[in-house]
């Protein structure tokens, strides 16, 4: 049996692990932690091995064609959707990222969550998430993707609200789920439109038709858009929700209420990237709707800079990373919107490594600080936790775009494509944001690891490096953060941009609307490269100047521009605006429908019916006098009535 | 033997209806249990007349046979009913139906 | 002459029926019923069913009424038991109902008899032989069932009316169905 035939095991194993752990939760609650760990880490581990074997076989096969494996068909009447998996270059990349990074985060969790109640429940949820995410990326049609999409949304809710005995986490979980729902609705509408037009949702059925008959999609369709534009917009709104872009990003910072490994896995490396995957998968449609593509790019760019600006003033280490994630996702959409699909996926991959690394590192710090997350209470931790410090620093360097590390290559690819397509305004935004990114990340590193320790005495005694079960994943991910960029070294620097060529079969080729790769002079390219490196280095340097000594150098800026500071500190009051404009009116409407409608009218009519029945019963009761003569009279009157009725004719 | 019939059959039928009505009124109105029974017998008798009348009208003998059966049933009913009355009287010392009202609400 | 006989006995029947229904004493009412039964027996003969008429006198007047009288004497029901009558409303409704009944039926009768006329009385119609042929021929099954019914009635009446057993030893056995009724 070839590994590729076992492809279905890749999502099935984590789901089975989740079910198994769930059942044990229900029926053997006293079972030891070791079984939970064995199942919870083991099953995804085997899944990863199968995935790697399948990828190996795929890459070294004689036939580079996409591999499809169909399990069975969902049929309802004439509507039939196959439950099938697809392995092609894009899903290979996603599969590798998800299983590899996911597995190491599972290992890390065994250490991080070892003292938590609900340990087994955690792994059940986390495995379920893995299964759903794998369904999402392996599905060969939009419906299987959607099942995975919804599944990861559910698991996100479950895991954000993991500490359900506190009041905030469940609220944050709800917020995530509800905001996601808005996007899901749009995604569904897009799927409906696609299905109405093509009668199928399978990629291999739709995309060739799109390429061969593009006129069908460029005719006007709805809302002043073409068909392609409409579907592209609907899908992007779905991506806005899942991948936290403006205006639906507000759930991600609050999602930090969940355990840190969850933040690493779901809100950095995998789930939030589902939107990018979806857009890249549907690139055939996006290519035919350039106006939507531009819209996507603009949203991406503005999200990037907005989130980065908020990240400048955050004091919670996880919140810094959360806004950073939103910002980096913005970069991915900037690329995808402008047609640089491979650049988007490239950044997705590198980001998964270094962001997961950063989150796990922060978890290590929080663990050592006994749960403290406020960086103002940290400081000088590099003495106590060298491994954590060095890996975290490496991740920071990667995200800041230090040359040679992963983030440098992927970010540069995006900026290069932005400039190459002539969007200099967006390029400027991207460049400035790169500087901001470097700044706030180094600020976080400095506040946490440099200077003097600012916490309490008890906390200081508690400081220690994390156990190997947590530090080994840090090291593995650090290797990835360094090395994952080397698959995409651009030609400018001597590489062959292997990654780009690897993914190109996934990008639809239109005979008439060929993607332009405008040629830039090599000198311009070098200039841009130097500019982006410079932005990063300036950010790093200035942050060190302000925070490196252990003081809060940014306070002087805050004093000079108090209004700006307040704006950033309050996250532009976006949450408050949403609350005032949307949440409260909706709540009032719901309350009205509940009290005024459901209770009064619906329940009221039932109550009235009961009351009427009781009344008539009370009345009817009086006729049972016990006196036979009365009964005989009723009888006779009834007979008379019957008689009259029959004789009417 | 052939009798001339100067009395139209309808007269008999109307008589029977009247007898029936009187019986109904009595069955509904009387308090005495025996009285109710007597009224019921009156009703059954009226029905018999009606049956025979129609039998004559239609020239069928089936009506007469039915009358026989009605009489038999009336006898059976009278026997059982009177037995019930005896049992009730033993218990309650009355057959005033107004007082036999245990199945009140 | 036939008309005269009819009118006399019809009047007799109606009159005695009224007495049955209204008289306070049950014995008098029973006696009146006998008179009614006799009158209707005459009606039967006039209608060409002499056998039925004879049966009426034999069975109804002779057996059933006697049964009534027996029970009356057995229970020694006195006059006082039945002084007041029931409520007025009830009586009026009953009377009105009876009137409505007449109002419904009589037109029906007239409609039914208008289109037909009774044929001449034939020997065949009147004879007992033909009657017997019907009873034991076409309607044999019904005849047998009625016999069964009478048997059941006799058994039932016996069971219902006998005295409850003397010793209340708690043995399961409600001989009289109404014996559990509290007075």
Instruction: Please report the DSSP string for A56-113 in residue order.
Output: HHHHHSS--S-EEEEEEEEEETTEEEEEEEEESHHHHHHHHHHHHHHHHHHHHHHHHT
Same domain for A537 and A426, yes or no, is: yes
Chain B residues touching residue A636 (CB < 8 angstroms): 24, 28
Higher-pLDDT residue of A406, B96: A406
**Mean pLDDT, to the nearest integer, of B59-69?**
89
Nearest Cα residue to A98 out of A55, A159, A35: A55
Same domain for A602 and A562, yes or no, is: no
- Rounding to the nearest 10 degrees, give the CA dihedral for residues A383, A385, A390, A396: -100
User: Is C178 within 8 Å of B87 when comparing Cβ atoms?
Assistant: yes
Higher-pLDDT residue of C173, A535: A535
> For chain B, how many structural domains are there in total?
1
Smallest Cβ–Cβ distance between A643 and the set C90, C93, C104 belongs to C104
Asked if the model's pLDDT at residue C174 lies above 60, the reply is no
Nearest Cα residue to B34 out of C81, C55, C177, C84: C81
Smallest Cβ–Cβ distance between C153 and the set B22, B65, B79 belongs to B79
Same domain for A149 and A181, yes or no, is: no
For residue A609, give how far its alpha carbon lies from the nearest alpha carbon of chain C (Å).
33
Counting as contact any 3 or more CB pairs under 8 A, the partners of C are A, B
Tell me, yes or no, whether B84 lies in a domain.
Answer: yes
Question: C108 and chain A: CB distance < 8 Å anywhere?
Answer: yes
Nearest Cα residue to C179 out of A509, A308, A358, B91: B91
In degrees and rounded to multiples of 5, residue A395 shows phi and psi of: -60, -40
Tell me, yes or no, whether B101 lies in a domain.
Answer: no
Same domain for A130 and A198, yes or no, is: no
Quick check: A276 and A345 in contact, CB under 8 A?
yes
Q: What residue spans define the domains of chain C?
A: 1-78, 122-162
Question: B60 and chain C: CB distance < 8 Å anywhere?
Answer: no
Question: B104 and chain C: CB distance < 8 Å anywhere?
Answer: no
Buried b (16+ CB within 10 A) or exposed e, C124-137: ebbeeebbeebbee
Smallest Cβ–Cβ distance between A636 and the set B28, B36, B103 belongs to B28
Q: What's the pLDDT at A146?
A: 95
Same domain for A214 and A339, yes or no, is: yes
Smallest Cβ–Cβ distance between A640 and the set C86, C101, C108 belongs to C101
Counting as contact any 3 or more CB pairs under 8 A, the partners of B are A, C
Same domain for A353 and A382, yes or no, is: yes
Domain containing residue A170: 161-569
Same domain for A523 and A640, yes or no, is: no
Q: What's the pLDDT at B40?
A: 93
Smallest Cβ–Cβ distance between A633 and the set C90, C101, C104 belongs to C90
Domain CATH number, residue B76: 1.10.287.3510
Residue C104: closest CA among chain A residues belongs to which residue? Answer: A644
> For chain A, how many structural domains are there in total?
3
Instruction: Please give the C-alpha separations between residue C61 and each of B41, C39, C47, C57, C151, in angstroms, as whole numbers.
Output: 11, 11, 19, 5, 21
Percent of chain C scoring above 70 in pLDDT: 80
Q: Write down how long chain C is.
A: 183
Nearest Cα residue to A201 out of A116, A260, A144: A144
Residue A619: closest CA among chain B residues belongs to which residue? Answer: B105
Q: What's the pLDDT at C15?
A: 94
Same domain for A584 and A468, yes or no, is: no
Residue A300 Ramachandran class (φ > 0 left, ψ -120 to 50 alpha, else beta): alpha
Question: C19 and chain B: CB distance < 8 Å anywhere?
Answer: no
Q: What's the pLDDT at B15?
A: 93
Asked if the model's pLDDT at residue C179 lies above 70, the reply is no
Q: β-strand A225-226 against A220-222: which pairing, if any?
A: antiparallel
In degrees and rounded to multiples of 5, residue A626 shows phi and psi of: 85, -10
**Mean pLDDT, to the nearest integer, of B25-36?**
86
Chain B residues touching residue C10 (CB < 8 angstroms): 11, 15
Same domain for A541 and A589, yes or no, is: no
Tell me, yes or no, whether B13 lies in a domain.
Answer: yes
Residue B46: closest CA among chain C residues belongs to which residue? Answer: C40
Count of beta carbons in the 10 Å neighbourhood of residue A473: 29
> Which residues, numbered 94 to 113 in chain C, qualify as contacts with chain B under a Cβ-Cβ cut-off of 8 Å?
94-95, 97-99, 101-102, 105-106, 109-110, 112-113
Chain B residues touching residue A617 (CB < 8 angstroms): none
Asked if the model's pLDDT at residue C182 lies above 60, the reply is no
DSSP chain C: -HHHHHHHHHHHHHHHHHHHHH-SSHHHHHHHHHHHHHHHHHHHHHTT-HHHHHHIIIIIIIIIHHHHHHHHHHHT--GGGG-S---HHHHHHHHHHHHHHHHHHHHHHHHHHHS-------HHHH-HHHHHHIIIIITHHHHHHHHHHHHHHHHHHHHHHSPPPS---S-S--SSTTTTS--
Chain A residues touching residue B32 (CB < 8 angstroms): none
Quick check: C79 and C25 in contact, CB under 8 A?
yes
Smallest Cβ–Cβ distance between B27 and the set A621, A626, A632 belongs to A632
Per-residue model confidence as pLDDT tens digits over C121-154: 677 677 888 889 989 999 999 999 999 999 999 9
Q: What's the pLDDT at A460?
A: 81
Tell me, yes or no, whether B3 lies in a domain.
Answer: no
Smallest Cβ–Cβ distance between B28 and the set A622, A624, A629 belongs to A629
Instruction: Please give the C-alpha separations between residue B14 and each of A452, B21, C99, in angstroms, as whole numbers.
Output: 123, 10, 13
Q: What's the pLDDT at C149?
A: 95
Asked if the model's pLDDT at residue C87 lies above 50, the reply is yes
For residue C83, give how far its alpha carbon lies from the nearest alpha carbon of chain A (Å).
17
Same domain for A553 and A445, yes or no, is: yes
Q: What averages of pLDDT result for each successive group of 10 residues across chain A (649 residues)?
A: 81 91 86 85 92 87 72 81 88 92 93 88 93 93 93 93 92 92 94 89 87 81 84 93 91 92 87 91 89 92 93 91 93 92 91 93 90 86 89 92 86 88 89 92 90 81 84 90 81 71 80 62 82 88 82 77 85 87 89 84 88 90 79 89 83
Percent of chain C scoring above 90 in pLDDT: 37
Same domain for A121 and A217, yes or no, is: no
Chain B residues touching residue C2 (CB < 8 angstroms): 3-7
Q: What's the pLDDT at A191?
A: 93
CATH placement of domain C1-78: 1.20.120.1200
Domain termination site, one of A160, A188, A206: A160
Residue C92: closest CA among chain A residues belongs to which residue? Answer: A633
Domain containing residue B87: 9-92
Structure token pair of residue A259: 């355990």
Same domain for A98 and A242, yes or no, is: no
Q: What's the pLDDT at A512?
A: 64
Question: C17 and chain B: CB distance < 8 Å anywhere?
Answer: yes
Q: What's the pLDDT at A570?
A: 87
Identify residues of A whose CB sits under 8 angstroms from chain C CBs.
Answer: 629-630, 633, 636-637, 640, 643-644, 647
The CA-based diameter of chain A, rounded to the nearest angstrom, is 116
User: Is C94 within 8 Å of A633 when comparing Cβ atoms?
Assistant: yes
Which of A514-523, B22-31, C72-81 is predicted most confidently?
B22-31
């Amino acid at each position: 049996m070839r590994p590729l035939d076992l492809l279905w095991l890749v999502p099935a194993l984590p789901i089975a692990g989740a079910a198994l752990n769930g059942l044990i939760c229900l029926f053997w609650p006293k079972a030891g932690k070791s079984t939970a760990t064995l199942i919870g880490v083991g099953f995804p581990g085997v899944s990863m091995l199968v995935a790697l074997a399948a990828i190996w076989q795929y890459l070294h096969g004689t036939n580079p064609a996409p591999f499809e494996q169909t399990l069975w068909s969902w049929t309802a009447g004439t509507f039939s959707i196959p439950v099938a998996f697809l392995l092609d270059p894009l899903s290979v990349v996603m599969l590798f990222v998800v299983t590899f990074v996911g597995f190491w985060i599972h290992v890390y969790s065994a250490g991080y969550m070892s003292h938590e109640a609900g340990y087994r429940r955690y792994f059940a949820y986390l495995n379920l998430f893995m299964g759903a995410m794998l369904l999402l990326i392996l599905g060969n049609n939009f419906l299987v993707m959607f099942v995975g999409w919804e599944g990861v949304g559910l698991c996100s809710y479950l895991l954000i609200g993991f500490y359900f005995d506190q009041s905030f986490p469940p609220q944050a979980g709800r917020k995530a789920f509800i905001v996601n729902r808005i996007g899901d609705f749009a995604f569904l509408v897009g799927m409906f439109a696609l299905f109405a037009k093509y009668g199928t949702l399978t990629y291999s059925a739709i995309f060739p038709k799109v390429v061969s008959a593009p006129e069908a999609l460029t005719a006007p369709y709805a809302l002043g858009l073409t068909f392609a534009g409409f579907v592209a917009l609907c899908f992007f709104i779905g991506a806005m929700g899942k991948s936290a872009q403006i205006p639906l990003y507000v759930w991600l910072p609050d999602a930090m209420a969940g355990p840190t490994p969850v933040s690493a896995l779901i809100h950095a490396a995998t789930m939030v990237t589902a939107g990018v995957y979806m857009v890249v998968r549907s690139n055939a449609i996006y290519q035919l709707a350039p106006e939507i593509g531009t819209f996507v790019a603009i949203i991406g760019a503005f999200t990037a800079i907005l989130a980065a600006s908020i990240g400048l003033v955050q004091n919670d280490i996880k919140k810094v990373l959360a806004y950073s994630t939103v910002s980096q996702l913005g970069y991915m959409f900037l690329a995808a919107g402008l047609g640089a699909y491979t650049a988007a996926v490239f950044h997705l991959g590198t980001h998964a490594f270094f962001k997961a690394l950063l989150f796990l590192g922060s978890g290590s710090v929080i663990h050592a600080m006994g749960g403290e997350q406020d960086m103002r209470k940290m400081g000088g931790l590099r003495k106590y936790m060298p491994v954590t410090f060095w890996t975290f620093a490496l991740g920071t360097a990667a995200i800041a775009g230090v040359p040679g590390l992963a983030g440098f290559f992927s970010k540069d690819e995006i900026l290069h494509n932005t400039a190459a397509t002539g969007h200099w305004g967006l390029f400027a935004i991207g460049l400035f944001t790169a500087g901001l990114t470097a700044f706030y990340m180094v600020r976080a590193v400095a506040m946490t690891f440099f200077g003097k320790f600012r916490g309490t005495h008890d906390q200081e005694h508690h400081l220690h490096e994390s156990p190997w079960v947590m530090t080994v994943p840090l090291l593995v991910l650090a290797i990835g953060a360094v090395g994952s960029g080397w698959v995409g070294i651009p030609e400018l620097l001597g590489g062959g941009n292997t990654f780009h060529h690897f993914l190109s079969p996934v990008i639809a080729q239109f005979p008439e609307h060929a993607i332009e790769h405008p040629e830039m002079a090599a000198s311009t390219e070098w200039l841009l490269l130097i500019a982006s490196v410079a932005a990063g280095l300036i950010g790093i340097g200035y942050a060190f100047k302000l925070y490196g000594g252990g003081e809060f150098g940014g306070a002087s800026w805050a004093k000079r521009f108090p209004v700006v500071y307040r704006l950033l500190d309050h996250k532009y009051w976006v949450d408050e605006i949403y609350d005032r404009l949307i949440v409260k009116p909706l709540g009032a409407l719901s309350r009205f429908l509940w009290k005024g409608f459901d209770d009064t009218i619906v329940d009221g009519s039932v109550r009235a019916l009961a009351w009427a029945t009781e009344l008539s019963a009370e009345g009817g009761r009086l006729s049972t006098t016990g006196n036979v003569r009365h009964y005989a009279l009723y009888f006779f009157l009834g007979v008379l009535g019957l008689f009259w009725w029959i004789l009417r004719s | 033997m052939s009798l001339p019939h100067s009395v139209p059959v309808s007269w008999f039928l109307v008589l029977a209806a009247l007898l029936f009505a009187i019986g109904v009124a009595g069955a509904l109105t009387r308090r005495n249990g025996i009285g109710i029974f007597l009224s019921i017998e009156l009703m059954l008798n009226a029905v018999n007349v009606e049956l025979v009348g129609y039998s004559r009208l239609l020239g069928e003998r089936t009506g007469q046979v039915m009358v026989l059966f009605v009489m038999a049933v009336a006898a059976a009913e009278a026997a059982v009913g009177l037995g019930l009355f005896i049992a009730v009287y033993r218990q309650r010392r009355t057959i005033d139906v107004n007082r036999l009202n245990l199945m009140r609400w | 002459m036939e008309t005269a006989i009819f009118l006399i006995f019809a009047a007799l029947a109606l009159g005695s029926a009224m007495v049955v229904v209204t008289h306070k004493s049950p014995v008098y009412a029973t006696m009146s019923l006998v008179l009614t039964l006799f009158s209707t027996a005459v009606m039967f003969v006039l209608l060409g069913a002499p056998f039925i008429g004879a049966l009426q006198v034999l069975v109804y007047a002779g057996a059933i009424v006697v049964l009534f009288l027996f029970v009356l004497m057995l229970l020694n029901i006195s006059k006082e038991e039945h002084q007041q009558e029931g409520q007025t409303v009830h009586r009026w409704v009953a009377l009105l109902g009876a009137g409505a009944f007449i109002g419904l039926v009589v037109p029906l009768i007239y409609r039914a008899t208008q289109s037909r006329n009774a044929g001449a009385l034939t020997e065949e119609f009147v004879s007992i032989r033909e009657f017997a042929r019907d009873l034991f021929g076409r309607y044999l099954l019904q005849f047998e069932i009625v016999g069964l019914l009478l048997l059941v009635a006799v058994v039932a009446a016996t069971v219902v009316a006998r005295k409850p057993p003397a010793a209340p030893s708690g043995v399961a056995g409600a001989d009289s169905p109404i014996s559990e009724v509290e007075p």
